[in-house]
Amino acid sequence: MQEHDEPGLMALALHEPNLTRLGAMRRANTEAAAAADSNGLSIAWARHPHQVLEAQRLRWKVFAEELGARINTPTPGYDIDLFDPYCDHLLVRNAEGLLVGTYRVLPPHQAKRVGGLYSETEFDLTRLVHLRPRLLELGRSCVHRDYRSGAVIMALWAGLADYMQRNKLDAMIGCASVSMRDGGHYAASLWAKLRKTHLAPVEDHMQPRLPLPVESLRQDLPAEAPPLLKGYLRVGARICGAPAWDPDFNTADFPLLMRLADVNSRYARHFLNISATA
């Protein structure tokens, strides 16, 4: 196995620096800095390779070390994949500068360059082709285990809302992962519940390439959505069909779509600075 002096730099070098994009990140960082909350959190977009490495390290610690995911990576200890160099990486730090939360986002022009969305590795997105020019993909959301009270996620969402508005994007797509440590019964029961209350119209459905085998699993267990998924649904996201099974992460991945036009009025005022009638 080839070793690298600095983990991840080979992956980060897959495309040339985009000066226009970097300038946009500088302007976004200026605005994001104003969103530091009362807990001493600050948000900014990664501008340098070492900052992306911090995000990849946190992702490894959460996904691999804490949750037991099998991650195929060129550098052990860092969650790195081929989409990372094409994404923008949102970072939340505590007052001491420790990275405590991260998201990565794949904007439409970068999705074209890399050949598609990460979600397409799990779902057929044919029905959403009309949304692509203004569709942002969210992924690899994770929060440090000592900072899961909700403040970090709120800070991340503030940064995402600013990004959406600055780039004139209309909708977000992504997956909410649910553990399958019990064999999938909880996830199947959650799907049976949420399909009755939060299912998107059929024209927005995504077809899983490896469906969760819900027919062979219990669907009658009491199942509350995990905090992140619950948060997405409160804001206005909808579930776009049956979950896929991700064997590497051992999760059931619920496909989500959220249009800015559908954002709950309370959150629209808080994150988007628009009224319910705007």
Q: Using one digit for the tens of pLDDT, what is the confidence trace for 45-78?
A: 999 999 999 999 999 999 999 999 999 999 999 9
Helix, strand, or coil (residue 223): coil
Whether 3 is in a domain gets the answer no
Q: Using one digit for the tens of pLDDT, what is the confidence trace for 164-205?
A: 999 999 999 999 999 999 999 999 999 999 999 999 999 999
Whether 213 is in a domain gets the answer yes
The parts of the chain modelled with pLDDT lower than 50 are 1-23, 25-26, 28-36, 274-278
Whether 69 is in a domain gets the answer yes
Residues 237 and 222: their CA atoms lie apart, in Å, by: 22
In whole angstroms, what separates CA 136 from the centre of its chain? Answer: 10
In whole angstroms, what separates CA 51 from the centre of its chain? Answer: 18
Provide the domain limits for residue 222: 9-272
Whether 277 is in a domain gets the answer no
Whether 103 is in a domain gets the answer yes
Whether 132 is in a domain gets the answer yes
Give me the CATH number covering residue 146: 3.40.630.30
Total domains present in the chain: 1
Whether 2 is in a domain gets the answer no
Whether 278 is in a domain gets the answer no
